[in-house]
Structure 1
Amino acid sequence: MRERCHRLLELGRADRLPHFRVRMEQLPAVAGYVLKVTREAYPTLDIPVHSRWGHFDVGGVARNAELDARLASLPREERARAKLDLVITSVLLDAGSGPRWKYHEAGGGLYARSEGLAVASFRMFLAGAFSSDPHQPLRADAAGLTGLTREALARGFQVTEANPLEGLDGRLSLLHGLGRVLPRPGALYDALAPRGGTVRASEVLGLVLDRLGPIWPGRITLDGVNLGDVWPHSSLGPPESADGLVPFHKLSQWLTYSLLEPLAEGGLEVTHLDELTGLPEYRNGGLLVDLGLLVPRDGRLLEEAFLPGSEPIVEWRALTVALLDEVGNRVRETLGRTPAQLPLAKVLQGGTWSAGRRIAAEKRAGGTPPIRIESDGTVF
């Protein structure tokens, strides 16, 4: 992933890409903006890893503590499996919501976008929506996931004509696929536990890609293998060539980051976090466009909506992955931190994702990204 994305960045620095100009002179400004946002959110620089778990406590509501209390009587390993059940289903439901959708928590607040999706999926999980056993609601299993109906998912996410959620069918398809490939999502714990007390992040991602690969719809296949979030770019090679493919695996990497806490609960430490890349999604990528590090060659990129597989989007995402490495290096240099002390996963949390959201809100009503994606609920 990193190698292909940095190859496109080198072409961009030489002004040889078809869709974006790369203005490296803007890198200090981007890193400075990220640092400003990070210091405001984490004055002591005690930054958690970028994962799904922080979203569950949005609005100052201690939902993670609520979950812990519900799971307290279970053995350590079963608590880990239950938390994996929750976070895997929640991440797979996390692709962009669209600008109009909101979730109103019973007796609580109104939430939108990723936080709203987190709270909705959290409440569905606690209500037993993904379990086939009413006596064990706090789990997800194959029968519960494959039996989930469109109506039940729409009801759980409060979807109506006046409150539309983009990619509802795509999300449902992912959960059905998850139920077909795993007896329960928490079984990933049992696949990793025999490896001892530590496991590398790349090994966790490899397991996620291997076990969840078949769930991704309508993707490129290579030697009979469904590649998932992998797309061609003509600057690397012809479309039919493996050399021309750029892998991203955004949701799989977001999921891997989000597995760290449940695995730790079960006694497994994940190491070498910087083997993973930054996440190529519209907040991180939007930050680079809004602050002028990436400049579209054609103004229509800022006006029209594009499919995830269109080459301008593939180029934008690849440049985002490579430039997040550059931003991370700048942030560490300024703070005098090493990659071990401040891995990219913490720069994202501190960080680039929040900075992308903030600059979007400053520039456009509703905080929409500068480039629009026609989401099918399975990529972003």
Structure 2
Amino acid sequence: MVPTPDDYLLSLRAVRERCFRVQEAGIRNRLQHFDVDPSKLQDVVQFVVSLIKRDYDEPSAVPVHGIWRHFDVSGRPRIQHLLNSWSSLGFDATEKTRRVLDLFVVAVLMDTDADHVWSYRENATGRTYKRAEGVAVAVLELFTAGAFSSDVNQPHRVDSEALINLSLDTLEQGFQVDHKRNVLIGLEDRLDILRNLGKVLQEHADYFQKTGPVPRPGNLMDYLLEHSSTIKTKKGALILLETLWPVVQCMGELFVAERPSGKGGIPGYGDVFPCAAIQYNSSDSTDHYVPFHLMSQWLVYSLIEPMERLLGATIEGTELLTPLANFRNGGLLMDTGFISLKPKEHERGIESYHKNSLLPGQPKIEVAPLFEMDDPVVVEWRALTTAYLDIVAERVRDALRLNRNKLSLTRLMDGATWSAGRELAEISRPNTQEPPIIVKGAIY
């Protein structure tokens, strides 16, 4: 059956195909907002290779990309400690997996590379963390305190009732927010996403209410295990990615696109935006729409790991997943000089930054171009990031003489590209460590 335009734009296949159309437009000098310097591509590859060699004795030791890494900041195996405590209480592998999925879903939907101002002091250790790792540790301590559970006797879970009734005050206390000294931008947006997740859990009982009286994100494990396409093997369940994909899409991405701001994507499609560089037909056509589905892909990358590690499951079809069009990966391409803003767009972004800096609480140091999430500059940047990281991945494998099985895309992102983008930001903008383009109101 030929997919409809709607089905196509919701698919993973469309992400890679449309982003490569933007990349090809760059080769034909049709980009509207960026210039590409092909001579710098090898610099990107060499930097990524150098990080892998610096940080890992063997490429096989590179971990997969997922939210689990954020929880283990400072080498403390927080998730394993949780698993050990649940084992001591007699919970089986399936329930432990449900609980980890509960936690990881909330953590992904709350995930934001918070700016340099906010920090979190971990209650258990007294250590202070920032950015994505700080957010993860804060979510973990909220989770263990029962903030996401409506059953005081079962605090270590997430359920629909607790999410729907979650208050901003609970989140602000949990994230140690101080409106003068420790501001966390966008917390209200994340609260809206979590409350919507609570409604989604109730509306999609076929996905989330297979076990227990209250719908939970982790119950998607039961849906997957019982699905007619899942194959039982001696090692564990063989689960098709196409079975998981619609489940994760309904969790947050589609809601973000429906919000009144109109900056989270196209309603009905999710994280999808028009791109003039590939617009050849009338504006009524969807041929120039570019999907990214970042939140949904980040969920998949993060949920696969506990399914495989705790239940021995195998997810079939992960080769369809793409590089994540986030601002660390995109920053890698810009801070190496491989792609750069056209002068007029750089000027527009700087003007926007200065206007924004006049608002209360907004940064006034380390000036960088600033754009809204739905700005055509950001769309083109994300598309180039997705396509060129695929190309970088192939060249890195060639340089290390490894195939995809030995160095998968998910390992490459965790072991090199994401961390490379962050390290370059720390070098280029040491005070704020922001990416080279600031995206105002970023949800993805």
User: What TM bracket, shorter-length normalisation?
Assistant: over 0.9
Q: Give the secondary structure class of the aligned counterpart of 2:315.
A: strand
Sort the Cα spacing of 1:110 and 1:211 in 2 relative to 1 into closer, same or farther, 3 A: closer
Distance in structure 2 (CA, Å) of the matches to 1:249 and 1:138: 29
Matching residue of 2:5: none
Cα deviation code 1:165-188 (max 9, x no counterpart) = 111111001100111011211121
Q: Structure 1 counterpart of 2:434, which letter? A: T
Matching residue of 1:257: 301
Distance in structure 1 (CA, Å) of the matches to 2:36 and 2:64: 28
4+ residue runs over 6 A deviation: none
Matching residue of 2:79: 64
2:121 to 87, 104, 116: 104
Residue 353 in 1 paired to residue 418 in 2?
yes
Query: Structure 1: which 5+ residue stretches go unaligned?
Result: none
Matching residue of 1:296: 341
Q: Aligned pair count?
A: 376
CA shift at 1:274, angstroms? 2.4
Q: Structure 2 counterpart of 1:193, which letter? A: L
Sort the Cα spacing of 1:168 and 1:43 in 2 relative to 1 into closer, same or farther, 3 A: same
2:160 to 142, 161, 166: 142
Distance in structure 2 (CA, Å) of the matches to 1:179 and 1:331: 41
Among all aligned residue pairs of Structure 1 and Structure 2, give the percentage whose two residues are the same amino acid: 39
CA shift at 1:146, angstroms? 0.7
Larger Rg: 2
Does the CA-based 8 Å contact 1:200-1:270 persist in structure 2? yes
Residue 53 in 1 paired to residue 98 in 2?
no
Q: Structure 1 counterpart of 2:293, which letter? A: H
Distance in structure 2 (CA, Å) of the matches to 1:319 and 1:88: 28
Aligned CA-pair RMSD: 1.7
1:275 to 320, 330, 335: 320
Q: Please, which moves more after superposition, 96-105 or 342-351?
A: 96-105
Distance in structure 2 (CA, Å) of the matches to 1:201 and 1:356: 28
2:186 to 155, 167, 173: 167
What is the TM-score with the length of structure 2 in the denominator? Answer: 0.81
Residue 78 in 1 paired to residue 122 in 2?
no
Does the CA-based 8 Å contact 1:239-1:245 persist in structure 2? no
Query: Structure 2: which 5+ residue stretches go unaligned?
Result: 1-14, 202-214, 232-236, 351-367
Does the CA-based 8 Å contact 1:120-1:157 persist in structure 2? yes
Matching residue of 2:268: 226
Distance in structure 2 (CA, Å) of the matches to 1:7 and 1:214: 24
CA shift at 1:355, angstroms? 0.5
What is the TM-score with the length of structure 1 in the denominator? Answer: 0.94
Does the CA-based 8 Å contact 1:202-1:276 persist in structure 2? no
Cα deviation code 1:4-36 (max 9, x no counterpart) = 000000011222101001122211110110111
Matching residue of 1:328: 393
